[in-house]
Amino acid sequence: MTVARIAAALVASVLLAGAARQPAAARAGGAPTWRHEVVRSFPHDPDAFTQGLLVRDGFLYESTGRKGQSSLRKVEIETGKVVQRLGVGNQYFAEGLAAWGSQLIQLTWETNIGFVYDRATFKQLRTFTYKGEGWGLADDGARLVMSDGTPELRFLNPQTLAEISRVRVLDGAAAVDDLNELEVVKGEILANVWLTDRIAVIAPATGRVVAWLDLKGLMTAQANPDAVLNGIAYDAARDRLFVTGKLWPRMFEIRVIRR
């Protein structure tokens, strides 16, 4: 092998190794990228390790994680003030959160258990179990959608919380790993991809990524490497889309620019 070919092979191996270390969202190809513009920003508790976020009745409901710090919260959108809070047991790392009727449904990470609460009082009504890890949770009006950190999304019966079906999320031919916090907006599933600044916009029937929402630069670099983008909430009553991150001091209302 010539020196030139050896050099070319070394460069190729370095590039391939670098690609292997990139998050799935960075490697995946095919879907277009949409931009965003910030409409407004709001205060957000910088100690909140945001794992689940949703809007109901003009308030934010938030699930925060970390063992010994996990909580369920009701928050004023304008001020970021926590008006209602329930601590989750120290053995649990709380994760995704969804609303169904008068109830809130919360996942935990590695303990294979979820909690069902009365939304008004935060009284725990029951628990349920599932296989694998709990990451994100949302509702599409008929079902719950659950992520577990893999490229697969699960659909659950909102009454029994039993799994109905699954779909594999692909961008072109590439599987999209690390699907995290979820929200359903106008029939499309929006999914944070862990450790990236992009949100996958997913067609629920096929699992196909129809676009990537680029949120790079939304928040200035944080000293804590865990302070990453994670938190999507849609206010259907006022057609507002909010995003935030773990340990972020701000929450943003954004407008999506499709192109």
Query: DSSP of 149-172, one letter per residue?
Result: SSSEEEEE-TTT--EEEEEE-EET
What are residue 76's phi and psi, to 5 degrees? Answer: -70, 130
Q: How many residues does the chain have?
A: 259
Give the closest residue to 181 by CA, choosing from 31, 27, 51: 51
| pTM exceeds 0.85 for this model | yes
Tokens of 236: 């259907």
Nearby residues of 102 by Cβ (< 8 Å), 6 or more positions away? 118, 119, 120
Tokens of 107: 């996942």
What is the pLDDT, as a whole number, of residue 169?
A: 98
Please tell me the distance from the alpha carbon of residue 194 to that of residue 19, in angstroms, as a whole number.
17
What is the pLDDT, as a whole number, of residue 21?
A: 34
Q: Three-state DSSP class for 198? A: strand
Structural contact between residues 71 and 61, judged by C-beta atoms closer than 8 angstroms: no
Instruction: List pLDDT tens digits, range 13-33.
Output: 333 333 333 444 444 458 999
Under CATH, which number does the domain 3-257 receive?
Answer: 2.40.128.630
Token pair 């909580």 is at which residue? 71
What is the pLDDT, as a whole number, of residue 223?
A: 77
What is the pLDDT, as a whole number, of residue 12?
A: 36
Please tell me the distance from the alpha carbon of residue 57 to that of residue 69, in angstroms, as a whole number.
26
DSSP 220: P
What is the pLDDT, as a whole number, of residue 11?
A: 35
What is the pLDDT, as a whole number, of residue 33?
A: 96
Residue 241 has a CB neighbour count (10 Å cut-off) of 20
Give the closest residue to 99 by CA, choosing from 155, 183, 162: 183
Token pair 């192109």 is at which residue? 259
What is the pLDDT, as a whole number, of residue 186?
A: 96
Q: Where are the domains of the chain?
A: 3-257
What is the pLDDT, as a whole number, of residue 16?
A: 32
Please tell me the distance from the alpha carbon of residue 123 to that of residue 143, in angstroms, as a whole number.
23
Residue 138 has a CB neighbour count (10 Å cut-off) of 28
The burial of 203, by beta-carbon neighbours within 10 Å (0-12 exposed, 13-18 middle, 19 or more buried), is given as: middle
What is the pLDDT, as a whole number, of residue 76?
A: 98
What is the pLDDT, as a whole number, of residue 220?
A: 83
Q: Three-state DSSP class for 70? A: coil
Please tell me the distance from the alpha carbon of residue 78 to that of residue 238, in angstroms, as a whole number.
14
What are the residue ranges in the chain where pLDDT is below 50? 1-28
